[in-house]
Amino acid sequence: MDILKKIQDHREQEEELKWEGTFSEYLELLKERPYLAQSAHSRVYNMIKSAGVAEEHDHKRYKFFDEDIYGLDEAMEKLVEEYFHPAARRLDVRKRILLLMGPVSGGKSTLVNLLKRGMEKYTHTDEGAVFAIKGCPMHEDPLHLVPNHLRKDFQDEYGIRVEGSLSPLNTMRVETEYDGRIEDVLVERIFFSEDKRTGIGTFSPSDPKSQDIADLTGSIDFSTIAQYGSESDPRAYRFDGELNKANRGIMEFQEMLKCDEKFLWHLLSLTQEGNFKAGRFALISADELIIAHTNEAEYRSFIANKKNEALHSRMIVMPVPYNLKVSQEERIYEKMIRESDIRDVHIAPHTLRVAAMFTILTRLKESKKASVDVLKKMRLYDGEILEGFSDVDVEELKKEHADEGMSGIDPRYVINRISSTIIKKELTSINALDVLRSLKDGLGSHASISSEDKERYLDFISLARKEYDEIAKKEVQKAFVYSYEESAVTLMDNYLDNVEAYCNKAKLRDPLTGEELNPDERLMRSIEEQIGVSENAKKAFREEILIRISAYARKGKKFDYQSHERLREAIQKKLFADLKDVVKITTSTKTPDEQQLKKINEVVATLVDEHGYNSSSANELLKYVGSLLNR
């Protein structure tokens, strides 16, 4: 009943939003809300902007794309700033076709669908409301009713510029239905809907021999010619092509460059002049954002053909590369799994992350800087802080290769291999090793991977495996240390006492003998070395710890085990290094004694309760780490 109630509520809300009135009443609305008279490009830009804009490191992140487009913040910023924003301001960019170019499964279709669904919702809001001449199959802008000779006066009075001519059908309707009284012409509020073919059109190429231009521009209704007497009577024409129906909104050309030339030439006048030719009529005005997508190979072939120069000059090409951030790639897989039938399978922690590492490595280009290998580059791109590198270095790395992210493994391949592993082995739980194995096995049957690339990709699988080995050891380390929490706190307190004495050039007093002792340099270094603090950097690190303790004290807060992330990591690593033999014995003994079994059960419980494993994947992890430590 809940879903039926929601359907009823939605229907009632839409009824409340409906509006109908005369053209003169519509003009009164415009006086109160002049933004209602915006262009298609302006409406799309305002829709994107209305979702919110975040300023991050001298870049803008448009939140409209957050839920569906991952890791392409810079590409989306460029798209909005270099196309939608100037087009909304009526600059010449709006007279261009927006062509999204990128590799397969890179997000082009997702982006277009996001814009289309967004526009459907936005026209239900006050800011995105769209009004049209009632009964018009092209839902024409009512302002086209304003005669050309009065448009300058209209702009002076309302501050709104009118572009476009009244369509042949509405010109006739004004005369026959309203006796030329444009103020009485009925206007209604419309809501964009791809399903109802209102404000959103989609054209997909098929066999050029059978596909008719009428799919784009409409066609003559031969059944009405006897009634109206002429093919040039607009009442005898069906204004039902995709260009007609997409008027006021978005027109999507799927795989545009695969279209036959005759379909593309219609776009020349539509983009440049805002009109197109249909039947035996004068040019028909249309206000729509034309968005198309293609891959790089087809685009190169298209621009190589001299016959396409005129159309090419009418395009703005926006690259949509693959995502290059591991954390965002992981989100892509999580989304694809949520939408699939494998969502009930337990996927062990870090499985998707390790798969994402492999995928991102295949997309990265080698840096010209000797100090940066692909692993470092992968980490820097994902926002990790590496010693010796700044945000400026990351920006420079991104500028080295303009085409970075335009090739490599696509997300669908990874999800297909995960699905294949689950279905073939009928598994209810998978881990990183299962997925890496499946990715490796699938490379041989991937038709588009060359033998040279295959060798590189095998190396990347090895790199991802090594990364997983470290992650697995760290995961077990945390679980063991969790059981030794008291030891960790004691070790940290001991370290802090020594750091305080070192920084203050003071002595420590032995609690048993009372004798004065120098700070224990060996203890401090054994902890600091765990996180790569060099001999030269130790003083600065220790002073930073002391400053943090003072800051906590001033605020009346207690500095504890969780207060400094890097110090906590160093303590855990040090403790784990000391416990390594215990871990080895506990995880690799085939017949553990009662004490060892108790410890294993404690660690498994920690992995399940604190780290997201199930009992099966936790036990597999322990066995694997045991084998690593025994090598």
Task: Supply angle C-alpha 539, 541, 543, rounded to 5.
Answer: 70
Residue-wise pLDDT for 536-581, tens only, equals 999 999 999 999 888 888 888 888 877 888 888 888 888 877 766 6
> pTM of the full predicted structure?
0.82
CA–CA dist 88, 413 (Å, integer): 38
pLDDT at residue 27 in the model? 96
Average pLDDT for 455-481? 89
Q: What per-residue string of b and e applies to 56-66 under the rule 16 or more CB within 10 Å gives b?
A: eeeeebbebbe
291: its two tokens: 């968005």
Look at residue 584 in the predicted model and tell me its pLDDT: 67
Proportion of the chain above pLDDT 90, given as a percent: 49
Tokens standing for residue 237: 């024409």
Q: Is the CA virtual torsion 213, 215, 216, 219 positive or negative?
A: positive
Sheet containing 97-101: which strands, arranged edge to edge? 200-203, 250-253, 289-294, 97-101, 315-319
Separation in Å, CA 585 to CA 194, 440, 471, 581: 63, 32, 20, 6
Closest CA to 576 of 534, 524, 526, 620: 526
Q: How does pLDDT run across 325-371, given as a tens digit for each residue?
A: 999 999 999 998 888 777 788 999 999 999 999 999 999 999 988 88
Which pLDDT score is estimated for 222? 82
| Single-letter amino acid code for the residue at 114 | L
The residue with greater pLDDT, 305 or 584, is 305
Rounded CA-CA distance 216/267 in Å is: 10
At residue 201, does pLDDT exceed 90?
A: yes
Specify the pLDDT at position 272.
Answer: 82
Radius of gyration, alpha carbons of the chain: 33
Q: Concatenate the DSSP letters of all residues of 380-395 into one string.
A: HHTT---TT--HHHHH
Strand partners, 318: 100
Contact 397, 380 (CB under 8 A): yes
| Buried/exposed code over 601-628 (b: 16+ C-beta within 10 A; e: otherwise) | eebbebbbeebebeeebbbbbbebbbeb
Instruction: State residue 390's pLDDT score.
Output: 86
Each residue's pLDDT tens digit, 47-81: 999 999 998 877 899 999 998 999 999 999 999 99
Q: How confident is the model at residue 254 (pLDDT cuts 50, 70, 90)?
A: confident
Top-confidence range, 53-62, 241-250, 289-298? 241-250
Mean pLDDT of 1-30: 90
Q: How high is the pLDDT of residue 575?
A: 80
Q: Which residues pair with 315 in a beta bridge?
A: 97
- Cα–Cα nearest to 561, from 501, 493, 630, 503: 493
pLDDT surpasses 80 at 500 = yes
Is residue 217 pLDDT above 80, yes or no? yes
Average pLDDT of the residues in 242-252: 93
**Distance (Å, whole) CA 488 – CA 490:** 5
pLDDT computed for residue 590 by the predictor? 65
Per-residue pLDDT reduced to its tens digit, 103-112:
988 889 999 9
| Residue 456, CA atoms < 13 Å, CB-side half-sphere | 16
For residue 33, the Cα-to-chain-centroid distance in whole angstroms is 34
What pLDDT, on the 0 to 100 scale, is given for residue 587? 66
- H/E stretch holding 219 reads strand 219-220
One-letter amino acid of 246: A
pLDDT beyond 80 at 263: no
Q: What was the pLDDT predicted at 328?
A: 95
Beta carbons of 64 and 47 less than 8 angstroms apart = yes
- In the chain, the domains with their CATH numbers are 3-319 (3.40.50.300), 326-465 (no CATH), 484-577 (no CATH)
Q: How much of the chain exceeds pLDDT 70, in percent?
A: 96
Q: Which stretch of 141-150, 161-170, 503-512 has the lowest confidence by average pLDDT?
A: 503-512
Over 70: is that where the pLDDT of 157 sits?
A: yes
Is the confidence at residue 506, as pLDDT, over 80? yes
Q: What is the mean pLDDT of the chain?
A: 88
Whether 483 shows a pLDDT value over 70: the answer reads no
Q: What is the mean pLDDT of the segment spanning 266-276?
A: 82
The phi and psi torsions of 71 (rounded to 5 degrees) equal: 75, 10
State residue 588's pLDDT score: 63
- The per-residue pLDDT for 105 is 85
Task: Check the CA dihedral 123-124-126-127 and report its sign.
Answer: negative
The crossing angle, in degrees rounded to 10, of helices 485-503 and 565-588 is 140
Instruction: Please state which of the ranges 46-55, 167-176, 200-209, 550-559 shows the lowest mean pLDDT.
Output: 200-209
